Amino acid sequence: MKTEKYKVEYAGFWVRCMAQIFDIFILGIPIIFVVSIFFGFDWLFSKSTNWSADISNLILWTIIITSLWTNWRGMTPGKKLMGIRIVSFPDYQKLSYTKSIIRYLIGYTISGLILGLGFIMIAFRKDKRGLHDLIAKTCVIYNK
């Protein structure tokens, strides 16, 4: 998609937030179930940290999310329900695995570590890009 041929509409904070909530339920519950089969169903509620379960959970999320972004036109089930998708910026092309991993592991981590400000900035930027988008050179647009 070239910008000359295709007018993009950037997806804002609330639609992206809703897509994330859908993904937590649609993808998160099965992932937690799978991890719990291997590490016991009490790992989530235990006062002590189960590093093996936590790392397994992170690895499953990373594999599933980055695979969906790369192979399912930049969408997860939540993004599909909300009619949005992630594309590279500024060319609006399909994401590569490298960009997906950078966005998810590095971008989301930094955005979260600074008290979520990397996510909140989506609401205030004209192009609706969060810090994770800037780091990975991506943006979220409405799927037209």
Over range 23-50, report the average pLDDT.
90
Residue 6 covered by a domain: no
Domain boundaries, position 29: 13-142
Over range 76-85, report the average pLDDT.
97
The share of the chain scoring above pLDDT 90, in percent, equals 85
Count of domains forming the chain: 1
Over range 106-123, report the average pLDDT.
95
The pLDDT mean for the chain works out to: 92
Q: Give yes or no for a contact between 103 and 86, defined as CB atoms under 8 angstroms apart.
A: yes
The share of the chain scoring above pLDDT 70, in percent, equals 96
Residue 29 covered by a domain: yes
Burial class (CB in 10 A: 0-12, 13-18, 19+), 95: buried
Reading phi first (left if > 0) and then psi (alpha if -120 to 50, else beta), residue 138 is in beta
Residue 5 covered by a domain: no
Residue 107 covered by a domain: yes
